[in-house]
């Protein structure tokens, strides 16, 4: 029998363990949808107020947080505030659905609404801001993409199960061949 076989099996086992460990890093991913709307009607405005979303306003000159937002007549009003770090990670989603986010960021991401406004603002911190609804070109109201998150969970469980079975099988073959070589 070839004496290198145990070495080859050890290498295969090491490779299998490495692949399994790397695959864990892409397991149990979470996804969100942007739910883009192109008009702010009264229902959308109520949703922004009722859900107490963290509102990020995108302007030609940058971003800011609109604190204590409320709809007054046809204007979205609130207080000009700085954008805190947790909410600056997901400013520019790549697509309308199945955008990935880290599990630890779920409270921040899933409570964000992004308003895209034509023009810019020169307000100072804490000052009152009034944005006419006509200036808002679109809004993204982030929500969990249940389908892709569930699919990721199922595939992760299947991948871990098969990966574990593969490693155990390779190790069993290694032990079997080792015991045959000893006799």
66: domain range? 35-141
Residues 160 and 82 in one domain: no
Residues 39 and 26 in one domain: no
Residues 11 and 96 in one domain: no
Q: What is the mean pLDDT of the chain?
A: 83
Residues 163 and 106 in one domain: no
Per-residue 3-state assignment (H helix, E strand, C coil) for the chain: CCCCHHHHHHHHHHHHHHHHHHHHCCCCCEEEECCEECCCCHHHHHHHHHCCCEEEEEECCEEEEEEEEEEECCEEEEEEECCCHHHHCCCCCCCCCCEEECHHHHHHHCCEEEEEECCCCCCCCCCEEEEEHHHEEEEEECEECHHHHHHHHHHHHHHHHHHHHHHHHHHHHHHHHHHHHHC
Residues 170 and 95 in one domain: no
pLDDT over 50 (residue 1)? no
pTM: 0.74
Residues 132 and 155 in one domain: no
What are 85-124's pLDDT values in tens digits?
A: 888 889 989 888 889 998 888 888 999 999 999 887 777 7
Q: Count structural domains, the chain.
A: 2
Residues 94 and 112 in one domain: yes
């Amino acid at each position: 029998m070839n004496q290198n076989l145990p070495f080859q099996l050890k290498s295969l086992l090491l490779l299998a363990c490495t692949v399994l460990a790397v695959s864990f890093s892409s397991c149990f991913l979470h996804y969100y949808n942007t739910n883009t709307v192109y008009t702010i009607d009264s229902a959308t405005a109520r949703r922004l107020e009722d859900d107490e979303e963290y509102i990020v306003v995108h302007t030609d000159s940058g971003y800011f947080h609109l604190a204590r937002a409320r709809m007054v007549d046809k204007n979205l009003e609130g207080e000009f505030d700085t954008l805190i770090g947790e909410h600056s990670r997901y400013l520019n989603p790549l697509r309308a659905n199945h955008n990935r986010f880290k599990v630890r960021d779920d409270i921040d991401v899933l409570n964000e609404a992004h308003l895209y406004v034509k023009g810019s603002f020169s307000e100072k911190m804490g000052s009152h801001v009034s944005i006419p609804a006509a200036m808002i070109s679109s809004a993204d109201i982030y929500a969990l993409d249940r389908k892709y998150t569930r699919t990721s969970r199922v595939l992760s469980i299947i991948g871990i199960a098969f990966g574990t079975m593969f490693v155990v099988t390779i190790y069993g073959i290694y032990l079997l061949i080792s015991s045959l070589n000893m006799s």
